[in-house]
Amino acid sequence: MSDVIYSRQELHDAIEALFAEGRSTFEPEHFELLGRFKKALNLGTLRAAEPDAAEPSGWRVNPWVKRGILLGFRMGTLVDMSVGTGEHAVPFFDKATYPLRGLSLDSGVRVVPGGSSIRDGVYLGRGVTCMPPMYINVGAWVDDGTLVDSHALVGSCAQVGRRVHLSAAAQLGGVLEPVGALPVIVEDDVLIGGNCGVYEGTVVKRRAVLAAGVLLTRSTPLYDLVHGTIHRAPDDGPLVVPAEAVVVPGSRAVTRGAGREWGLSLYTPVIVKYRDESTDERARIEEWLR
């Protein structure tokens, strides 16, 4: 990589122009641009979505950053990334433009041996812990002190705040396409239980707790027993889980047709309380794991 320095605006303009060309072949200067773009993602100076108090959800998407990531896939050719040689090789084949993210001891990130992968183009804060096997996809942001537990997924462009615990097998779907859609957002000090799934740009506000097995999507109504309200995603925005809400899996009866006759119920997430001292005491156990 050369010593060329791109400002944020220069990166924006160059990525947008190259994406719009729709070309199928690329020159060395285009790969230079992509390298600078991915470096900015790794450093956290660029992100797919960022806080914005003017937005109802508190977040806004940066579509041009998503276009830059998609451009990287268009530019990449399939290469052999296998580990080892001969009969003992572990086969991997992927786009040359998205190898594993480079890390060193100075990165301050704990990656426990056992089959985890972090793609290039990911921001990792100091003190992040990665328990095997887990996966963090391109465009994701994982802030300081967060624990990504075994079998957890941080999807493309998902934004994860400070001191979050993604428990075993938790899934954050991200959202790379459509480029204008907000990705999954998990704010600071959130606890996400095992086997949870957060998808389709859902925003989980600070200090919320999702009990094991909670599933959240844009089409999922969230019933708040504390305030007697129902949270739904607006037509042009995400489902927002309120700050400090404690969400558990629940069900609601089918009230019409055959479903009512058969006594069926549908899954729904339910806010049963908001964080208090007892909730905080249980969450504090997580500090011993970091």
Q: Which long-range CB contacts under 8 A does 266-269 form with residues at least 24 apart?
A: 267/215, 268/220, 268/221, 268/222, 268/223, 269/214, 269/215, 269/216, 269/220, 269/222, 269/223
Give the tokens for residue 37.
């773009």
Q: Tokens for 272? A: 């049963």
Same domain, 144 and 46: no
Q: What is the pLDDT of residues 186-225, one digit of tens each?
A: 999 999 999 999 999 999 999 999 999 999 999 999 999 9
Looking at the structure, do residues 134 and 66 belong to the same domain, yes or no?
Answer: no
Asked if 120 and 201 sit in the same domain, the reply is yes
Same domain, 180 and 250: yes
**Model confidence pLDDT, tens digit, residues 20-71:** 999 999 999 999 999 999 999 999 999 999 999 999 999 999 999 999 999 9
pLDDT of residue 83: 87
1 domain-assigned: no
- What confidence tier does 110 reach under pLDDT thresholds 50, 70, 90? very high
Indicate whether 47 and 140 sit together in one domain. no
Q: What is the pLDDT of residue 287?
A: 56
1 pLDDT band, cuts 50/70/90, is: low
Domain assignment present for 105: no
pLDDT digits (tens, 9 = 90+) for 223-246: 999 999 999 999 999 999 999 999
pLDDT tens, 21-32? 999 999 999 999
Task: Write down the mean pLDDT value for the chain.
Answer: 94
User: What is the domain-level CATH number for residue 19?
Assistant: 1.10.166.10
Same domain, 249 and 181: yes
Q: 74 by DSSP, 3-state: which?
A: helix
Q: Quote the domain boundaries for residue 231.
A: 112-285
> Phi and psi for 50 in degrees, rounded to 5?
-145, 160
Q: Structurally, how many domains does the chain consist of?
A: 2
Is 100 inside any structural domain?
no
From 30, 54, 77, the end of a domain falls on 77
